[in-house]
Structure 1
Amino acid sequence: MPSKLLNFYGRFAPSFTAVGFVARGLPLRPIGRAFEGQTWLVTGATGGIGRSIALGAARRGASVYAVGRNPEALAALEGVAGVKPLKFDLDRVADNLSLAEHVAASVGGLDVLVNNVGRLEHAYSTSPDGFESTYAINLLGHFALTERLIELGALGSGRIINMASGGLYNSALSLRRLEQSPARYSGVMAYAAHKRAQLALSDRWSAQGAPAYTMHPGWVATEGVRTALPDLNRHLGPILRTGAQGADTALWLAARRPAPVPGALWFDRAARSAHAYEHSRTPEVEPEAIFAKLAADVAKAAKG
């Protein structure tokens, strides 16, 4: 394993794995109030952290719209108390807009939106709309869905939770890394830039009156980790977090509803610095440049 990667894993393993979760005493600390009468929307809810969030919220009394695109995985959620599976392809801007309209028409308002769907890829590919595929699923779709829900008045007093990653430590706020060219594509840096941009989106929505958090679940044993980060899985697999441990902070945020903290990365039930290295502290662009690109790309896709 390259020394840079080894250093990264070594530095964060005591905190980001199950070791840190247990050491902080989280298994013994109650999450907070239950969710009876609440309506949630969780994207990427058919596996991994998203599924754990959806099931955890439903067990605590919420009615959960669990969104995915895999028919078999959605079928596995049929009949689960409190869970309503929905099939939408969130790689597509149109599907994100349609999802927002469907939910707004069905329930009027949401108590919690969890923008969880995302992935890291090492080979360049494009979405059905022609955008780089991970940009489409990790960021553009989140923006399209959430902005449309806000426009429709479907978030009201609800909370937005954006699922990020410690990978964002690797990048400052960047426009050039959001959607890279095939010739210079780095999936790791694209992913880092998308997750860094989620912080800017949380601050934007909070300022608009829709309180939003960006959270880090820790390093969780998911299929995505096994396929996208095989070195992490190979070396730290036995101590990676469970899905329930990765979902813990999302459920805690929804239960406790702390005041949003600008620029913070929420991790293990606390607002923490989103910077582990000096190079990420100086943004390459202002947040407005990110928002302008996202808005322009949503409009472009909507035109077809």
Structure 2
Amino acid sequence: MIRLHETVRVARSAADCYRYLLDFSTCEQWDPGVYRAAKITPGTPAVGSEFDVTVSLFGRRSTLRYRITALEADTRIELEMHGNGIRSTETIAISSGASGGAEIDYRADFQLSGVLRLSQTVARPLFKRVGRKAVAGLADALTIKSEPPRQSWPSYAADRSMILAAPTFTERGYLALDDKSHSEFMDDRVVVVTGATSGIGEAIACEYARLGATVVLVGRDADKLAASRQAVHDFAGGDIARIHTEQADLVDVAQTRALGERLAAQFPHIDVLVNNAGAMFDTHALTDDGFERTLAINLVAPFVLTETLMGTLIAAGGRVVNMSSGGMYLQPLVLGDLNFEKSSYSANNAYARAKRGLVAVTRHWARRYGDAGVQFNAMHPGWAATPGVTKSLPGFDKVMGRFLRDARMGADTAVWLGAAEAAKHCQGEFFLDRTPHPTAVLPNTQVRPSDAQALYGWLRNESDIPVHGFG
């Protein structure tokens, strides 16, 4: 038997610590030995809930099954684990500290069998070292940071070369993050996520719901919205009444504006808006409003929705997170041909230009409305394996599939930007893996403030959005 015992003190309440640890799949956020973890029992974790945890064990990945065997609210979580040649019983005891905060006491008994049993003497110090790192990671995950990460010089140089930066777009970049935690709860806050019926959008909604936010899922298909609502509840647990759905086809300006008006009427304070919905189209076509389709969904829609919700965002001191793409780096903003009516159409180029425009508008919003208390930031999710990527870029998906991030990795920064205290003062920046990055590295792709102003004016005029009485 290998016995572990570690204790750590954190500046959080015992209730917060218990709430974070109750969903044991959060271990992927704080245990450096865990590659992936998932709750496989739907709903709020309880006695009998099970989790699959994939770890690096003796040089290879192995999936372990954890099960909650006993709970005492805010004070104790007991689990048992079994895998190929390994079993354990583990106890996490939580108590309030005399001077505030909480103390977390972790104990585990591991039993090895078969081939692993023969290596028990060698394994003992390894297990103890892994246990210490895991508990230290837990303490860090429960520590609320006040300052956002800053880009290092090697990272900045890699961005400038582009080729050296490409590996960080894969899951390798996410796995290298020092802090992957989401432990800052969002009770009594409202989050709106567009494109929430699959992939990264659904993963974003899942994590916000787990943090306790009231989440509004926006999509165009009623059946998919219903399925996603259930999927988010299965993931996050809690009261399903906190998970709302809104149906709208965001390619249509009138539907997008009507969506914003409905949301504003129902939620006078919206704390986070995640403009995630996007699409790529193989052929050139204009919408009924006269916009090229890729431009309509990736730029016009977030513009119309954000402007329509501006009053509710200002009332909440809210945050706007705009989903961009690494493809943006390869294209400039072409103000004279936003609808691709003067040049040869390319799906990839149209998508990249629309995302370039969204980042430019993000910075313009930050300048225009930042003093009103609203934050505007854009982000790149990395290269993620999603249904959209598979459909739009099958060749890329086939070649890069084994290196791509999963949807939860791609969602990470969007959740961090909306929830974290450390992101509170970030304004008008472009993020990858919680770190600000340059918006342009190639010649002639930098967007001047005057061009962003011109784009903003064009969008306002063409979509018939009225001028607000603020900003």
Q: How high is the TM-score relative to the length of structure 1?
A: 0.88
- The C-alpha deviation readout for 1:151-197, integer Å capped at 9, x for no partner, is 46665301000000001101223213421128621222211111111
- The C-alpha deviation readout for 1:11-52, integer Å capped at 9, x for no partner, is 5441001111112344xx323411111101100100111111
User: Are 2:270 and 2:312, in contact at CA under 8 Å, matched by a contact in 1?
Assistant: no
Matches of residues 63-82 of structure 1 in structure 2 within 5 Å? 63-79=214-230, 80=233, 81=240, 82=242
Deviation at 1:144, TM superposition (A): 0.8
Identity over the aligned pairs, expressed in percent? 35
Q: Which residue of 1 aligns with 2:418?
A: 254
Distance (whole Å) between structure 2 residues aligned to residue 178 and residue 239 of structure 1:
33
- For residue 37 of structure 1, the aligned residue among 188, 194, 202 is 188
Q: Which residue of 2 aligns with 1:4?
A: none
Which secondary structure does the structure 1 equivalent of 2:417 belong to? helix
Deviation at 1:277, TM superposition (A): 2.1
Distance (whole Å) between structure 2 residues aligned to residue 165 and residue 130 of structure 1:
24
Q: Which structure ranks higher in relative contact order (CA pairs < 8 Å, sequence separation ≥ 6)? A: 1
Instruction: Tell me: CA distance 1:132–1:203, structure 2 relative to 1, closer, same or farther (3 Å).
Output: same
User: Are 1:67 and 1:87, in contact at CA under 8 Å, matched by a contact in 2?
Assistant: yes
Distance (whole Å) between structure 2 residues aligned to residue 99 and residue 242 of structure 1:
29
Which secondary structure does the structure 2 equivalent of 1:90 belong to? coil
Instruction: Tell me: CA distance 1:15–1:110, structure 2 relative to 1, closer, same or farther (3 Å).
Output: same
Distance (whole Å) between structure 1 residues aligned to residue 199 and residue 181 of structure 2:
22
User: Are 1:134 and 1:191, in contact at CA under 8 Å, matched by a contact in 2?
Assistant: yes
Matched, 1:105 2:258: no
Q: Quote the RMSD (CA, aligned, Å).
A: 2.2
Which secondary structure does the structure 1 equivalent of 2:256 belong to? helix
Q: Which residue of 2 aligns with 1:286?
A: 451
Instruction: Tell me: CA distance 1:155–1:52, structure 2 relative to 1, closer, same or farther (3 Å).
Output: farther
Q: Which residue of 2 aligns with 1:242?
A: 406
Distance (whole Å) between structure 1 residues aligned to residue 436 and residue 162 of structure 2:
22
Q: Which residue of 2 aligns with 1:267?
A: 432
Q: Which residue of 1 aligns with 2:441?
A: 276
Matched, 1:52 2:203: yes
Q: How high is the TM-score relative to the length of structure 2?
A: 0.58
Runs (5+) with no aligned partner, structure 2: 1-160, 234-239, 466-471
Runs (5+) with no aligned partner, structure 1: 1-7
Distance (whole Å) between structure 1 residues aligned to residue 378 and residue 447 of structure 2:
19
- For residue 381 of structure 2, the aligned residue among 198, 212, 217 is 217
Distance (whole Å) between structure 2 residues aligned to residue 133 and residue 117 of structure 1:
13
Distance (whole Å) between structure 2 residues aligned to residue 183 and residue 83 of structure 1:
43
Matched, 1:119 2:279: yes
Distance (whole Å) between structure 2 residues aligned to residue 293 and residue 281 of structure 1:
19
Distance (whole Å) between structure 2 residues aligned to residue 231 and residue 289 of structure 1:
36
Distance (whole Å) between structure 2 residues aligned to residue 284 and residue 179 of structure 1:
21
Which secondary structure does the structure 1 equivalent of 2:339 belong to? coil
Which secondary structure does the structure 2 equivalent of 1:20 belong to? helix
Identify, as 1 or 2, the structure richer in helix. 1
Deviation at 1:238, TM superposition (A): 1.0
User: Are 1:64 and 1:83, in contact at CA under 8 Å, matched by a contact in 2?
Assistant: yes
User: Are 1:266 and 1:272, in contact at CA under 8 Å, matched by a contact in 2?
Assistant: yes
Identify, as 1 or 2, the structure richer in strand. 2
- The C-alpha deviation readout for 1:136-161, integer Å capped at 9, x for no partner, is 11111111111111146665301000
Q: Which residue of 2 aligns with 1:22?
A: 175
Aligned positions, number: 290
Deviation at 1:120, TM superposition (A): 1.6
- The C-alpha deviation readout for 1:105-153, integer Å capped at 9, x for no partner, is 1111101000010112221122232321111111111111111111466
Instruction: Tell me: CA distance 1:65–1:298, structure 2 relative to 1, closer, same or farther (3 Å).
Output: same
Deviation at 1:224, TM superposition (A): 1.1
Distance (whole Å) between structure 2 residues aligned to residue 75 and residue 244 of structure 1:
20
Which secondary structure does the structure 2 equivalent of 1:66 belong to? strand
- Name the stretch that deviates more: 38-47 or 223-232: 223-232
Which secondary structure does the structure 2 equivalent of 1:77 belong to? helix
- For residue 136 of structure 1, the aligned residue among 286, 296, 299 is 296
Q: Specify the structure having the higher radius of gyration (Cα).
A: 2
Query: In the alignment, residue 324 of structure 2 is paired with which amino acid?
Result: A
Q: Which residue of 1 aligns with 2:256?
A: 96
Could you list the runs of 4 or more consecutive aligned residues of structure 1 that deviate by over 3 angstroms after TM superposition? 8-13, 151-156, 282-285
